[in-house]
Amino acid sequence: MPGAVFLATDRIELRTVESEDLEWINGCRNDPRIWESMLMHTPRSLDRTQQAHSDDDGRIDLLICEDDPVGRIWLRQDGIDERYGNATLGYWIDPEAWNDGYATAAVGLMVSYGFDHLRLHKVSADVLEFNPASARVLEGNGFTHEGTHRKEAFVSGEYHDRHSYGMLVDEWKGMDTQVDR
């Protein structure tokens, strides 16, 4: 059962990760449709997943839920630079819930949180070339394609481009379709 509601819209809730959620997270994380696009090359046991979630690394890590969990979203600690106000966003959706708009809604909500509550100046995210759906999620939330790192990711025996996206707080403030604040 997902934890407390941290952020919510009429459509989704971003909830804290509880120990009961780790088996579901581990199952999704080991699904090739998720780990290949996230560059998580090694399998992870449930014990390792529990250990990773017991570390207080300062990362904001939440479950994306409708009623039950459908995905995960986070701002990484190593991607949050308090001096400059930059953070790196990551997310994945359970393949059973793909194409239902959960990622788009969750990214909008998390970005709003980052700019409104963490006083971020910029949020960045990366997408591999074979994941155009994720690029559409970012672009639909106002992110700008900032560059291509050519043939940087090795997945399934081939090198693939990694695309970098970013959004500045001023761009976000000027958007007409922000999450209700």
Distance between CA 87 and CA 34 in Å, rounded? 22
For residue 28, the model assigns a pLDDT of: 81
Provide the token pair at 70: 């459908």
- Rounded to the nearest 10°, the torsion over CA 69, 49, 129, 103 is 20
Do residues 21 and 46 lie in contact, with contact meaning Cβ atoms separated by under 8 Å? no
Residues of the chain with pLDDT under 70: 1-2, 39-58, 77-81, 176-181
For residue 163, the SS3 value is strand
Phi and psi, residue 23, nearest 5°: -65, -45
Distance between CA 180 and CA 140 in Å, rounded? 16
For residue 40, the SS3 value is coil
For residue 2, the model assigns a pLDDT of: 67
* One-letter identity of residue 22: L
Domain 5-173: CATH class, spelled out: alpha beta
For residue 149, the model assigns a pLDDT of: 97
Instruction: List Cβ neighbours of 89 (8 Å cut-off, separation of 6 or more).
Output: 73, 74, 75, 79, 107, 110, 111, 114, 123, 124, 125
Provide the token pair at 49: 């997943």
Provide the token pair at 65: 């839920």
For residue 125, the model assigns a pLDDT of: 96
Distance between CA 134 and CA 144 in Å, rounded? 13
For residue 181, the model assigns a pLDDT of: 40
For residue 161, the model assigns a pLDDT of: 95
Q: Going edge to edge, which strands form the sheet with 60-65?
A: 5-8, 13-16, 60-65, 69-75, 86-93, 122-128, 158-168, 144-155
For residue 44, the model assigns a pLDDT of: 64
